[in-house]
Amino acid sequence: MFACIPGIIALMLVISCSSPISLTSWKNPDDHNQVSKVVVIPIFSKLEYVKPFEYSMCGYFKQMGLKSIGSLDFLNPTKSYTVEQVKNKIDSLGADAVLIFKYSGTDKESTYVPATYYGGYGSYWGWGGGFYGGGVYSGGYWSTTSTVNLKSILYNVKNTQSALWTADISVTDPQYIDQSALQLAQKIYADWLSNGLIMPAAKK
């Protein structure tokens, strides 16, 4: 999408509504700026990932009273931009903050689920085997869990040299982008509220 910005990597399908999401954040103690209008820029490799992610996240922010705009609303995905060109476009929108997402890898963990025996009458009454002791036997299998990791950085447009807020995000067994972006937006907004990053006028 942005050819001059490094770190554009293929991203797995991100996040379903049932996918557990963890968020560990850090707030810059020396920066007391607040956010009234934020630009959301997911630096993903494919347009089909970016569009639903931005749409759901910006939709939730607007619902909560926080003005927001996605990158596809003012940048042409078929063109390349320098960082300075992107910054100038953001300045023209009147936004005071930029929220960037970057893919930082996927962790996979395989777990063996042992075989299970669901006993019949025999197991219930303590009998032995045979006809009355019959049950259902379920063979063991391997289960693989995938955890997609994202890095999120919030910058004040007047100070892009140091982050205002950062977060390490982990999403377990991702499936659908739009539903999970909504879930992630809820977590981010709540975290910003607790850290005093949302201007009072933006609170619902």
CA distance 129 to 23: 51
CA distance 113 to 91: 54
Q: Look at residue 8 and tell me whether its pLDDT is greater than 60.
A: no
Write down the pLDDT at residue 200.
65
Average pLDDT over every residue of 150-156? 94
The pTM for the full model equals 0.73
Q: Look at residue 128 and tell me whether its pLDDT is greater than 50.
A: no
Secondary structure class of 156 (helix, strand, coil): strand
Q: Look at residue 17 and tell me whether its pLDDT is greater than 70.
A: no
Give 21-105+147-202's CATH code, choosing from 3.30.465.10, 3.40.50.800, 3.40.50.300, 2.10.70.10. 3.40.50.800
Q: Look at residue 101 and tell me whether its pLDDT is greater than 80.
A: yes
Q: Look at residue 7 and tell me whether its pLDDT is greater than 60.
A: no
Residue linked to tokens 């709540």: 190
Beta pairing partners, 33: none
Residue ranges per domain, the chain?
21-105+147-202
CA distance 47 to 56: 14
Where residue 141 falls among pLDDT bands split at 50, 70, 90?
A: low
Write down the pLDDT at residue 159.
82
What percentage of the chain reaches a pLDDT higher than 70?
68
Contact 70, 55 (CB under 8 A): yes
Average pLDDT over every residue of 45-70? 93
Write down the pLDDT at residue 83.
86
Strands (E), 91-191: 97-113, 116-118, 136-138, 141-156, 165-172
